[in-house]
Amino acid sequence: MVDLSRISVMVSSVDSETDAAAATRAARRRHRTGTAARPRPRASVLGVFGELLITAGVLVLLFLVWQLWLNDVIVRAQQDEVAQQRSQHWVDEAAGEPAPPGDDIIVPAQPDDAQIFGVLFVPRFGEDYAADIAGGVSRARTLDPIGLGHYPGTQMPGGQGNFALAGHRTTYGKPLNQIASLRVGDAIVVQTKDGWYTYRFRTLEYVTPTQVDVLNPVPQSDAAASDRFITLTACSPMYSAAERIVAFGVFESFTPTADGPPASLDPVEN
């Protein structure tokens, strides 16, 4: 005989499973319906503007890092290399030529605007340091693209009076960045195709931009020149043009190119 009770239990079990599956499907449909009906958040104008400001701030910061540090490192290295090559070219040209007779100091002629005529070496600034010197002190033609500029009307290297130069302390290769590190007696050497002019650092001063008497034949004096001076000027403080930092030096010796580099170019201990 057929066990009706067992059949009834089996049917009830199947019905229960069917009901459970149906309930699960219904719950999933409700969940999908609820999710689809949920409104999407909208980006506010202030939120977009804030993100744009953050992005702009990051870009400005990256530009400053590039302009004030990375770019300066690259430009300084390039300017050092170009000036070193110019220096060596002058030495190679003079190889085998006799030194000029006597102890006369050869004083170069005044250069044209932006005409490169010399190279500055300062052992205190590092063994690789070398900076081209050109006529004029305009930023567009001399200071920015070349390095150091010669104040028109001031003396030339080796001449009686004041040989005055200007250069950046920050940006554009910053050739006078370390001017404040000079110590009394440090060599400041200017090379031209004729030879090396060695000056010795004496003092450092801070003046206003209007105190142009630092360019006088005798710096900060109206006296007639009987000695030979060098004056280096740069903006101060760092990243500001409020003042000028000025380094003064006095002439020591002239070494013709044919005699080879002077001992004043030897490295110094920092």
Which residues participate in catalysis according to the annotation? 168, 235
Distances (CA, A) of 16 to 5, 24, 68, 91, 232: 17, 12, 77, 104, 99
H or E element, residue 172: none
H or E element, residue 199: strand 195-207
DSSP string, 141-160: IIITTTSEEEPTTSPPTTSS
69-76 long-range contacts (CB < 8 A, ≥24 apart) are: 71/171, 72/170, 72/171, 72/172, 72/173, 72/174, 75/172, 75/173, 76/173, 76/174, 76/175
The answer to whether 124 touches 270, Cβ cutoff 8 Å, is yes
What token pair was written down for 232? 């280096």
Q: Tell me which residue has tokens 């009770």.
A: 5
Q: Which amino acid is at 27?
A: A
Is 253 in a helix, a strand, or coil?
strand
> Using CA atoms, how far apart are residues 213 and 207, in angstroms rounded to an integer?
10
Among 178, 203, 198, 201, which residue's Cα sits nearest to residue 72?
178
Q: Which residues pair with 148 in a beta bridge?
A: 133, 167
The answer to whether 255 touches 261, Cβ cutoff 8 Å, is yes
